[in-house]
């Protein structure tokens, strides 16, 4: 009888262990399910739907028909070219400013010789917390064509003619890059400060013993140590440059500018989708823009060697 009881206890213990083991296997899926559900509903499903819509002509609810590649053929127009050129120049200039400048500031604020480091870190990050609408309106008024604005007052001091900053191609690009610099310098600064914390101090100490100066330490230790962060910032900056919308939309609220100065790819998508109710063509613009960003980032990631194997 005792052997029978022991066997039944062992079986019950095995069943309990089996249930616990199954529960342990299920727990990770329970915790990750919110992210998976959100990804499927708010990312993957819209992307698939947009891709399907790019092959359709959508005149209204229930009035949809497939038109094959007609929307993509219609992309070959001067407005889309102008938008891509504007985005490309905007991305180029923001990369030229928003990588070197934050690196310089991060190295400066990471130095123990710099006073009030925490104050400057906070002050530089505050613009990122400001609403883009508020910032856009401020800069639109700041760079207005009136003679009383600060930039035109400075020009008058040097006996130069006042300018309508936002309606000259090069000056308008300058205004947009200034807004991007004001907003995102602090964010990139945080990234580079975090990267500097991961560079061992022993490397700098060894460089000092070898007689390296500050410039040599920056070139041969700091920059290689920041390479992963630079690649990350470069990747997200390329995406941000080509997907820029709010700044241009606030500066040019009527979306009509001479020579398409303020036209960006996402603004063009917005015009076609919501102003002209051409959702199929707008979807084609979105898919094309996605492919362009993907190709550019793939090229730069390959250039930096992220696709190389450890043995290569």
CB-based contact 241:87 (threshold 8 Å): yes
Grouping H, G, I as helix, E, B as strand and the rest as coil, residue 15 is helix
Inter-residue contact 247 to 175 (CB < 8 Å): no
Comparing C-alpha atoms, which of 242, 138, 229, 249 is closest to residue 183? 138
Position 81 scores a pLDDT of: 94
> Crossing angle, helix 279-303 and helix 45-53, to 10 degrees?
120
Rounded Cα distance, 126 and 25, in Å? 44
Question: Taking the domains of the chain in order of start, what are their residue ranges?
Answer: 2-53, 70-303
Pick the CATH number of 70-303 from 1.10.3720.10, 1.20.1260.10, 3.10.20.600, 3.20.20.70: 1.10.3720.10
**Paired residues of 65 in beta bridges:** 57
* 173-194 pLDDT, tens digit each: 999 999 999 999 999 999 999 9
pLDDT in tens, 28-86: 777 788 889 998 998 899 999 999 999 999 877 778 889 989 999 999 999 999 999 99
Q: pTM to 2 decimals? A: 0.85
Rg (CA), the chain: 27
């Amino acid at each position: 009888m005792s052997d029978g009881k022991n066997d039944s206890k062992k079986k019950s213990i095995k069943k309990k262990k089996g249930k616990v083991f199954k529960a342990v296997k299920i727990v990770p899926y329970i915790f990750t399910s919110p992210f998976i559900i959100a990804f499927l509903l708010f990312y993957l499903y819209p992307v698939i739907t947009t891709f399907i819509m790019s092959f359709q002509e959508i005149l209204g609810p229930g009035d949809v028909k497939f038109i094959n590649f007609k929307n993509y053929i219609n992309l070959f127009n001067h407005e889309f070219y102008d938008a891509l050129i504007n985005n490309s120049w905007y991305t180029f200039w923001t990369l030229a400013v928003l990588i070197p400048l934050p690196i310089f500031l991060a190295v400066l604020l990471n130095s123990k010789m710099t006073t009030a480091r925490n104050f400057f870190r906070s002050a530089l990050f505050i613009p990122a917390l400001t609403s883009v609408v508020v910032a856009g309106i401020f800069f639109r008024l700041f760079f207005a064509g009136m003679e009383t604005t600060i930039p035109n007052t400075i020009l008058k001091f040097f006996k130069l003619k006042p300018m309508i900053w936002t309606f000259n191609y090069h000056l308008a690009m300058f205004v947009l890059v200034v807004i991007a610099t004001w907003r995102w310098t602090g964010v990139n600064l945080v990234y580079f400060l975090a990267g500097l914390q991961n560079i061992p101090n022993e490397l700098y100490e060894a460089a000092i013993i070898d007689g390296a100066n500050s410039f040599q330490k920056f070139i041969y230790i700091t920059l290689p140590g920041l390479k992963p962060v630079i690649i990350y910032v470069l990747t997200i900056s390329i995406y941000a440059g080509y997907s820029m919308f709010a700044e241009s939309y606030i500066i040019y609220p009527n979306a009509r500018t001479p020579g398409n100065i303020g036209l960006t790819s996402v603004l063009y998508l917005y015009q076609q989708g919501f102003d002209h109710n051409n959702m199929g063509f707008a979807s084609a613009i979105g898919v094309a823009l996605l492919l362009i960003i993907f190709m550019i980032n793939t090229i730069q990631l390959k250039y930096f060697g992220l696709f190389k194997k450890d043995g290569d």
